Structure formats: C-alpha cells, structure tokens
Structure 1
Amino acid sequence: MKSQDTPFEGGPMDGRVLPVLLGMTGHPPKTYRIPVPDAAGGPPTVLVYRRVPRGHSGKLGLVQGWKYQYAAEGDTGGRGGRVRWPWSKPDNTKSRKSDDPTG
C-alpha cells in the first residue's frame, strides 16, 4: 500500500508529519482519528483531524496536496455518523399535524 507524508496542524500533533496510508483514489482519509491512552487507565481520548487542501495550483485550481487540521469539536462534523447519498431522502422526524385537512 502507498503512503504519503502528511502534515498535521493544530492540537497536540501540531507541526508533526506522519506517513498516512492512501485509499484506492490516491487520497488520504477525510478524517484521521488518533487514540491517546489515559494515564490513569481510563478510556482513551480520541483526537480527530480533518483533511483540508494544502494548496491549489495556479491556472486550474487543482489540489496540490493534503494536510490535516485539528477538529476541536471531535466527531460532530455535521455528518451525523452516516453516509449521505445524493438520492437519499432527508430524515424527517417531525410528524404531521393531526388537524391538517390534507392529510
């Protein structure tokens, strides 16, 4: 498998460069989770980093490379933990009003 040296910005890993395995498309994963063990023996703390473009080329605006930025909010990146396909319907948990004459 191929790997790429990817820089990390922000958080405890600021300034470090780690080799990150690339996926089938040749890109590193969108999120990178690093479990940090607790000194007291409790559950590990998970550091979450999100992939952002490192830079863009001049004329075409292509991505030159990737880096990871620290996500202080953790895993709540707005995705809700599930894959969102373009053909999926949004989650409507609100029920219709009972006095609605059309329903």
Structure 2
Amino acid sequence: MKSQDTPFEGGPLDGRVLPVLLGPTGHPPKTYRIPVPDAAGGPPTVLVYRRVPRGHSRRLGVPTGWKYLFDPEGKRGGGLRWPWSRPERAGGTGAVAAPDGSPDGTQG
C-alpha cells in the first residue's frame, strides 16, 4: 500500500509529519484517530484529527496536498450526507416527532 508523509497541526502531534496510508482514491482518510493508552490502565484516550487541504492550485483551485488539524471535540462525523436527508439537530439524530409526541405519528 502507498503512504504519504502528512503534517499534523494542533494537539499533541503539532509539528509532526507522519506517514499515512492512502485509500483507493489516492487520498488519506478524512479523519485520523489515534488511541493513546492511559498511564493508569484505564480506557485509552482517542485523539481525532480531520483532513483539510494544505493549499490550492492557482489556476483550477484543486487541493495541492493535505494536512490534519486537531479536533478537540472528536465528534463522530463524516458518513454520507444525502440531499434528501433531514438536517442533523443539536440534540439528536435529526428525526422529527409527530405533534402528539410519538416518533412516527401512530398512537397505540
């Protein structure tokens, strides 16, 4: 498999350049998760980095490379977003309850 040296910005890996495996399209993954073991033996802490363009070409505006920025919240993001999907709400999954309070409008 091919790998590419990719810079990391922010967080504990700030300033480091690590080799990242490329996917079938030739790009590194959109999110990069790094589990860090706990010194006390507890569950590991997961550092999350998000892929952003390093720069853009002058003529076509195509990304010239990639870098990773630290995401301190580390929310599960990504996935496919279909145009017909409902927008995600702050408190839940985006599903809308019926006026009577039932999730699908049926009572009983």
Is this a same-fold pair by TM over 0.5? yes
C-alpha deviation, 1:76, in angstroms = 4.5
Mark the runs of 5 or more structure 1 residues left unpaired by the alignment.
99-103
Question: 4+ runs of 1 displaced by more than 2 Å?
Answer: 82-86, 88-93
CA distance in 1, matches of 2:5, 2:19: 4
Residue matched to 2:7: 7
What's the secondary structure of 2:34's corresponding residue? strand
- Name the TM-score, length of structure 2 as normaliser: 0.78
Does 2:96 match 1:93?
yes
Mark the runs of 5 or more structure 2 residues left unpaired by the alignment.
87-93, 102-108
- Name the TM-score, length of structure 1 as normaliser: 0.82
C-alpha deviation, 1:84, in angstroms = 2.6
C-alpha deviation, 1:95, in angstroms = 1.0
Q: Percent identity?
A: 71
- Number of paired residues? 94
Counterpart residue type for residue 94 of structure 1: A
RMSD, matched Cα? 1.8
